[in-house]
Chains A and B, each alone.
Chain A
Amino acid sequence: MAAREVESPQGDVVLRAEGLTKVYRTGEVEVHALRGVDLSLAPRELIVLLGPSGSGKSTLLNILGGLDTPSSGHVFFRGTELTARDEAALTQYRRHHVGFVFQFYNLIPSLTAKENVSLVTEIADAPMRPEDALALVGLGERLNHFPAQLSGGEQQRVAIARAIAKRPQLLLCDEPTGALDSATGVLVLEAIEAVNRELGTATALITHNAGIALMADRVIRFGDGQIVESNVNATRRPARDLEW
């Protein structure tokens, strides 16, 4: 299917969403997960999406990441409309431009840390060396360990290395510290911060932990499928100074 190319009216935007709605039907009940969301993300920007569970932030992230399609509205990636494209094109979008970090790491247990990263670099256009990606997240020493031999924080940092090794333009993190204690969580956030700062990757981070919001350029609060508040932080606080 040919993609419909639409020029973005604004200049330097990585990702732009316009009027996104998402309605799930389960039996007789209609659930409005998103009720008209507009959002854009600039290069080098780090935004934090805050909100109670069920507020629609994960649905938004899935749509931005090309895993789901909205019921209405549009998503533009670098001026190209994603919402008009087919499954195969979305796969290519994820493959080359998006990095995902999951709450439960989702490492491949049969591959070592380095191999988990190689899994992505082998199919990317201009990737980093897996060793460099792991060094960036502070795991240069544990290259040949299997996931079962790593702690939770280490596993999550491998996942971050795997997400950014392809040099994505967009890094999407869904509750990356949700399964970790705060000390380990800080290490993981530091890794995300380092990637955002050193590679300039536009980053969206979902959390229900307000303490993390201080590291963002912009904080977006979700409620009942809508953006209820959007604040720009005057200064970003370094991740290592966060506490919760």
Chain B
Amino acid sequence: MVSPGPPRSFFQLRALERKLLRDLWRLRGQVLAIALVIASGVAVLVMSLGTIEALRETAAAFYDRSNFADVFASLKRAPEGVADRIAEIPGVQTAETRIVRFALLDVEGFREPVIGQLVSVPETKEPVLNRVMLRSGRMVAPGHPDEVVLSEAFADVHDLEPGASLRALINGKLRTLQVVGTALSAEHVYTMPPGSLMPDEKRFGVLWMGREALAHAFDLDGAFDDVSLSLLRGTSPEDVISRLDLLLAPYGGVGAYARKDQLSNWFLMSEIDQLANMVTVLPTIFLSVAAFLTSMVLNRLIAIERSEIGLFKAFGYSNASVGWHYAQLVIAISMLGVAFGVGLGAWFGHGMTAMYAELYRFPFIIFRPSLSVYAIAAGVSVGSALLGTARAVLRAVRLPPAEAMRPPSPTLFASEGIGARIERIFDQPTRMIFRQITRFPARSGGSVFGIAMAVGLLVTALQWPDAIDRMLELYFFEAQRQDVTVGFSEVKTSEVQQSLARMPGVFAVEGVRTVAARLRHGTRSRREAIQGIPEHAQLTPVYDSNRGVVELPSEGLVISRKLSEMLAVEPGQMITVEVLEGRRPVFDAPVVGVFETNIGSPAYMRSDALHRLMRERPVTSAVHLRVDRDQEPALFAALKKLPAVSGITLRRAAVEKFNETMARTIMIFTGVFALFSATLAFGVAYNSTRVSLSERARELATLRVLGQTRLEISYILLGEVALLAFMGLPIGCAVGAAISWFMATSFETDLYRVPLVLEHATFGMAIAIAVVSVAISAAIVRQRLDRLDLIAVLKTRE
């Protein structure tokens, strides 16, 4: 062993660096409070950016690996030869045909009818586009027409492993299908049954079957009813879509759509957009408040250290090194916050990504924020803190040495005008509070701002559950009154309503005619089904979220506000309707009304008017039922035998699912934000009070010497923060209402618009949480008041 040399300190710190570390330690309470506020902002940033990145990258990798198509189209039936003509459309790289149909499934041990989407795959090779990713078992084999591969979520929830079987009503024939594998697909990351808004793996599943088998079952030998395209790089999908629509029109095409409108992808992308929205609003608030807090503490520190600063300069330290010394303090505080925040954000991000992994079906999902996420978080936090403290640092730099070593001249207070007259009714301690606040308006304003922001964020967080509840209430209970909706793959004559009405437990039936169409106004167009509903519809009337039921005029379209915005159309103007089914008529219809709805962008018309325009007999695409809950089992048994059903939607199941998924997500968000906001209120109150205490320790100790009790001096110190908080509360409520309004409008997606719901209880709760946070910080500072050194204050001069 080598003999040790003389002991040598590993940390050879220079004097200023040692001072920095001691300052940080001495100010640890305040440093920690600021770091926590910064950490909250950084955590939101890392969590959101990291989750966005995880979702984007996972989706991109998955789409890439499974060769997710760029354009999709459904049609009634076209001979296989048409595929070649499709492939000739300029810009098309690959065109792959398939058969996509619906079937009613009967799963052992599950009472309710289940809808299966049957998707064909080639028996002998892998599909070129929309490849499925096998998770267990194998793909279907040629010559075994009853073999199926199930979507994993559906298989999991019903415990259908390879080797299991299930019964299906396929094109009117009851068949027993053998499960040979489970798989995932880029087309069904978000798997929603038709007519629903939430993924429902219990009542909806995807079944991949051999192309031959499906062709036999649906009489589509040598033909197809669905086509997917991949495009050459740089090709605009719009051109391809219009050519494809033209080409498929004679074959019953119902309008092609691009990947961005593909349901699963569309949901996924809206979710990512929403997260991105959050990233812009919330961390900004946290970091700007943190910058203010740091500047407040630094200003105070520089005021205390005037003589030290003078001394440094007298010794020959340059302005730059003095400035750098204080800048380092700011950087150290922010980096501490960044370190906490990154840890916290990564932890929350993990949790959130895990939640998404459950909601979405990806074969893999990785939460591994790139260095840039951390770099952005650190850069933004340190940058905003430095910006916020630039003036304080400059003040230190500019202090002339001689001036710096003299004590600061006493602060001049004033009492004039109306304020003085109002003050007269208060005692001296209360006057001290008022004058302290008015003498330092910027700092007081900053504290009010900080508390207001905390309350604002709390209001924003706490109103989400109410808003979602309201949306649920409006959509599922006020607008819809049916219990079950039965959809058909082909339109049925109105007699189907009578036969459904005779089924067990059915109270009321109401048919609806849904027509796939492209709506045009000027240069704008939108693929949106027109819902034809009867006059005085009882089960699913047109429902305006503000005005309630809207009666349809005998002619013309009543459209949702969202659709009117998308088409830039107003009541009184005409819309061109290009119907994408049946005889494919094209007609102009006037917009006769606009209504507000939170979900989707629907368009309504009286069914008799729609039938006339379609030049058809009264037919029905779906029937709404109101049923006796006690007789549901019998009804379900009967529905399972109904041929040509493409969807059975239970309102109860949709609500349950909505609550299960949304409620959990929202509760987690609300909890996290409430915690962060409470931290913000705490940080602001703690720092304001500590700075005030450090400035007024001498004053308060003097008062103690003069015979004031602890309670009396606490009143002077804490009364100030209480008054500032009190001023911040109503402002915070207004700020909260504004942020909520901003989020509600800017989070508006094509799919849904969360209503602005601000309950009194939300404001009350936000205020209560903020008050408790302020009270905790006051209680901590209050303990310091008990330790004031009464003797030191008699001697030393500040």
Contact = CB atoms under 8 A, between A and B. Distances in A.
Contacts of B709: 88, 91, 95
Interface residues of A, number: 37
Given A103-B794, A109-B411, A147-B410, 9 more contacts: A67-B791, A68-B791, A98-B707, A103-B795, A104-B797, A115-B428, A120-B706, A122-B428, A144-B415
Contacts of B435: 110-111
Given A68-B791, A111-B431, A115-B428, A148 B705 contact: no
Contacts of B797: 104
B428 A100 contact: no
Nearest to B700: A108
Nearest to B429: A119
B793 interface: yes
Contacts of A144: 415
A148 B431 CA distance: 17
Contacts of B791: 62, 67-68
Contacts of A162: 706
A67 B705 contact: yes
A102 B698 CA distance: 12
A120 B429 CA distance: 11
Interface string A76-118: 0000000000001001111110101011101011111001101
A122 to B, nearest CB: 6
A62 B794 CA distance: 10
Contacts of A110: 411, 413, 431-432, 435-436, 439
Contact of B707 (A96, A103, A106, A149): A96
A55 interface: no
A154 interface: no
Residue of A65, A110, A144 contacting most chain B CB atoms (<10 Å): A110
B30 to A, nearest CB: 23
Contacts of A109: 410-411, 413, 699
A59 to B, nearest CB: 9
Given A91-B707, A109-B410, A110-B413, A102 B794 contact: yes
B791 to A, nearest CB: 5
Most buried by B among A68, A100, A108, A120: A108
Interface residues of B, number: 33
A118 B703 CA distance: 12
15 contacts: A91-B708, A94-B705, A106-B699, A106-B702, A108-B703, A109-B699, A110-B413, A115-B428, A116-B428, A120-B706, A120-B707, A123-B707, A146-B412, A148-B409, A148-B411
A102 B702 contact: yes
A82 to B, nearest CB: 14
Interface string B705-735: 1111110100000000000000000000000
Given A67-B790, A106-B698, A115-B428, A100 B412 contact: no
Interface of A: 58, 62, 65, 67-68, 88, 91-96, 98, 100, 102-104, 106, 108-112, 115-116, 118-120, 122-123, 144, 146-149, 162, 174
A21 B439 CA distance: 45
B439 A148 contact: no
B704 interface: yes
Contact of B412 (A58, A95, A119, A149): A149
B565 interface: no
A20 to B, nearest CB: 16
A94 B707 contact: yes
A123 B712 CA distance: 10
A147 B706 CA distance: 18
Contacts of A104: 797
Nearest to A87: B710
A100 B791 CA distance: 12
B410 A122 contact: no
Nearest to A118: B428
A58 B436 CA distance: 32
Contacts of A112: 415
Contact of A122 (B427, B702, B704): B427
A58 B791 CA distance: 9
B794 A174 contact: yes
A148 B436 contact: no
B235 to A, nearest CB: 73
A172 to B, nearest CB: 10
Contacts of A174: 794-795
Nearest to A90: B707
B431 A115 contact: yes
A68 B678 CA distance: 40
Contacts of A65: 705
A92 B709 CA distance: 8
Contacts of B794: 58, 62, 67, 100, 102-103, 106, 174
A60 B9 CA distance: 45
Nearest to B698: A106
B795 A119 contact: no
Contacts of B412: 146, 148-149
A73 B432 CA distance: 40
B413 A100 contact: no
Contacts of A122: 427-428
B411 to A, nearest CB: 5
